[in-house]
């Protein structure tokens, strides 16, 4: 059974197609010779890699020139331009709101260990609808999949054809 057939069988709908990595305008194409530190969040970058590890940051800043910049995630937040929008809705959400919010925060914390640029920008709630904006489309996908895996319901993905953006809808 193909991945698409399996997704449909279990109630996951996918529309559009994922873009290649190179379409994200916030990520620089080239690596940095110097170490770059984000002035807003403290993340460090070197050779196309971002991290929060203080020990590694200290080692690199001692050995290389340091440039202060704004990281891609902080820039996305400043521009209010999410890479993913996850919408959770339904009566089930109201009944299990705290559990679902804790799961969302735990998924973000685990993801940030591997990718410091994957962050939740904002969580808004309006009645039985919870909207989560993320700085990374893969984080948005992961949030939807994790809630679907533990709470079932219906899951729908809509990828943008032109840019790095995904809209994820979960309901139950």
C-alpha–C-alpha distance, residues 38 and 29, integer Å: 17
pLDDT at 122: 96
Q: Are 147 and 103 in contact (CB under 8 A)?
A: yes
Average pLDDT, the chain: 85
pLDDT at 96: 94
Mean pLDDT, to the nearest integer, of 45-68? 83
Domain boundary assignment for the chain: 3-17+83-171, 35-76
Is the model more confident about 54 or about 90? 90
CATH code matching the domain that covers 3-17+83-171, chosen among 1.20.120, 3.30.70, 1.10.10, 3.40.30: 3.30.70
Mean pLDDT, to the nearest integer, of 24-53? 81
Share of the chain above pLDDT 70, in %: 83
pLDDT one-digit tens code per residue, 101-123: 999 999 999 999 899 999 999 99
- For residue 119, give both structure tokens: 């962050």
């Amino acid at each position: 059974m193909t991945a698409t057939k399996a997704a449909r069988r279990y109630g996951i709908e996918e529309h559009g197609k994922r873009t290649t990595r190179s379409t994200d305008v916030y990520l620089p194409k080239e690596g940095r010779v110097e170490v770059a530190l984000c002035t807003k969040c403290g993340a460090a970058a070197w050779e196309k890699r971002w991290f929060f590890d203080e020990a590694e940051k200290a080692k690199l800043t001692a050995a290389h020139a340091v440039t202060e910049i704004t990281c891609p995630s902080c820039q996305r937040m400043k521009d209010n331009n999410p890479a993913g929008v996850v919408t959770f809705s339904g009566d089930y959400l109201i009944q299990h709101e705290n559990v679902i919010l804790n799961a969302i925060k735990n998924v973000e914390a685990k993801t940030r260990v591997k990718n410091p640029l994957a962050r939740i920008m904002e969580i808004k709630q309006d009645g039985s609808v919870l909207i989560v904006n993320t700085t990374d489309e893969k984080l948005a996908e992961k949030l939807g999949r994790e809630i679907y895996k533990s709470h079932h319901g219906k899951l729908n993905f809509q990828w943008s054809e032109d840019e790095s953006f995904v809209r994820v809808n979960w309901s139950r």
